[in-house]
Amino acid sequence: MNLKFDNITISGGVAVGTTTLLNNLKPYLEPSGFKFRSTGQFIRNYTKENIMPVATLVSDDFDRNIESEVKKLLSTEKGWVMEGWLAGFVARELDNCFRILLICSENAVRIDRVVNRDKVSFTQAKNYIAQRESENFKKWKKIYGDADFFNYKFYHLVIDTLSSGPLETVGKVLDKLAYKIPAKTQ
């Protein structure tokens, strides 16, 4: 398969659809050898294994190591789809990397997604999103300075998942990649 880019990043905040997009791209790209990684899942596993209540408790060095690993993979290898809040920001200088930012312009929809996904109350979901985003951005600004991590200029494609459902979002990504459905062999 000959795509416009060697690698792909998917970025965005809580409940905007980054993991959904990662999973929905698999049937299209996995047969061509693409590998998939969620940096958020990696961090959640690490904090669970090291008995840390939240990912923001990992050291700044740990975050820098994750960044270094992501940059190395995306700059030296081909065929990666990397999902994580800062994946696109980290890859912003890599020309071979297609950077996608997902947003959801209606906070109530994001809250509802967390309610349904995590089976929590509206208030719990609202507080969870606010706390997680506040803690993460505070930590990242300490590490990276006063950067705008979701500045549209860092991304090739920005999709508002309020008005773009999961299948439409996959279609937009595949179109931008110039993906062609493989011909069936008879």
Domain interval for residue 165:
7-106+149-176
Q: 114: helix, coil or strand?
A: helix
DSSP letters, 141-175, are HHHH-S--TT-GGG-SEEEETTTS-HHHHHHHHHH
- Mean residue pLDDT of the chain comes to 89
The pLDDT of residue 9 is above 80: yes
Element (H, E) at 116: helix 107-118
**168 — pLDDT class (breaks 50, 70, 90):** very high
Predicted TM-score of the model (pTM): 0.89
Which residue's structure tokens are 């008995």?
51
The pLDDT of residue 42 is above 90: no
Q: 105: helix, coil or strand?
A: coil
> Pairing relation of β-strands 157-160 and 7-11?
unpaired
Asked, for residue 19, whether it belongs to a domain, the answer is yes
**What's the number of domains the chain is made of?**
1
The pLDDT of residue 19 is above 90: yes
Asked, for residue 140, whether it belongs to a domain, the answer is no
The pLDDT of residue 63 is above 80: no
* CATH number of the structural domain spanning residue 159: 3.40.50.300
- Is pLDDT larger for residue 106 or for residue 47? 106
- Is pLDDT larger for residue 56 or for residue 86? 86
At 83-94, the pLDDT tens digits run 999 999 999 999
Asked, for residue 117, whether it belongs to a domain, the answer is no
- How many whole angstroms separate alpha carbon 179 and alpha carbon 71? 24
Q: Are 114 and 128 in contact (CB under 8 A)?
A: yes
